[in-house]
Amino acid sequence: MATQMVELHKLKLAGLKQECLARGLETKGIKQDFINRLQAYLRRMIHAQKDDYAERCREERAVYKPRREAWNRTFPCSSQKEPTLPAP
């Protein structure tokens, strides 16, 4: 299931157990238990990825905002574009 989309209910119990084992999840119970565990795990991973992305965006804004403000003080034009050199 690494990079391939798989419908969990189509997997056999042994396959579900293997997927749980690979992710460090509990490997006891009936088929629906395994499906529920894997779905909860996938939801947690999606939320973690979203949180990581949001944190990276906040960090980038913290880094680039002072640069942008410094640029605006240096070149206070309304276009906010970098100056270009005239053609020789």
In whole angstroms, how large is the CA radius of gyration of the chain? 25
Instruction: Give the structural domain span for 23.
Output: 8-65
- Give domain status of residue 3, yes or no: no
Burial of 72 (0-12, 13-18, 19+ CB in 10 A): exposed
- Give domain status of residue 27, yes or no: yes
- Give domain status of residue 48, yes or no: yes
Count: domains in the chain: 1
What's the pLDDT at 1? 43
- Give domain status of residue 60, yes or no: yes
Q: What is the pTM of this model?
A: 0.56
- Give domain status of residue 49, yes or no: yes
CATH code assigned at 38: 1.10.720
For the chain, 88 residues long, give each residue's pLDDT as a single digit of tens: 444 567 888 999 999 999 999 999 999 999 999 999 999 998 888 888 888 888 887 777 776 767 777 777 776 665 555 556 666 5
Tokens representing 8 are 């969990």
What is the C-alpha separation between 43 and 66, in angstroms, rounded? Answer: 36
Query: Which residue type sits at 55?
Result: E
Residue 39 neighbours by CB under 8 Å, 6+ apart? 8
